[in-house]
Amino acid sequence: MKNEMQGHIDRNESMWEIWKEHGVNSETELTVNFHFYSANKQKMELLCEELKSENIKFEVKETRTLIFFKGYEITADITKKWSLPELQGKTGNLYILSKQVGVSLDGCGAKMPN
């Protein structure tokens, strides 16, 4: 579990460097998308309840291959002015939440502002 969290932290650091090259800094309002996956409907619903309680906007998409049901992709969007420490902190919080409700945090990303 610690290695998985460290992977998120390392990816965020690399991503932040790329964002900085695109002009993002702690004064830039940016929507960061956190991506989760669940094969279980009840666990997905638990995550959504927690996100709702924190006033985090989210979207759920069912995934399928041909006729076989595969699971749920949940995307949570948080728009604010970010710093790397804030991004790391929110990633850590959402990682812990994902483990508590039994879904996986796949990572995060953002569309760069124009």
Which domains does the chain possess? 2-110 (3.30.70.970)
Strand extents, DSSP E, the chain: 29-38, 57-65, 68-81, 104-110
Whole-prediction pTM: 0.92
pLDDT at 66: 72
CA distance linking residue 16 with residue 65, whole number of Å? 34
Bridge partner list, 108 = 34
The predicted-structure confidence for 12-42, as pLDDT tens digits, reads as follows 999 999 999 999 999 999 999 999 999 999 9
Inter-residue contact 75 to 33 (CB < 8 Å): yes
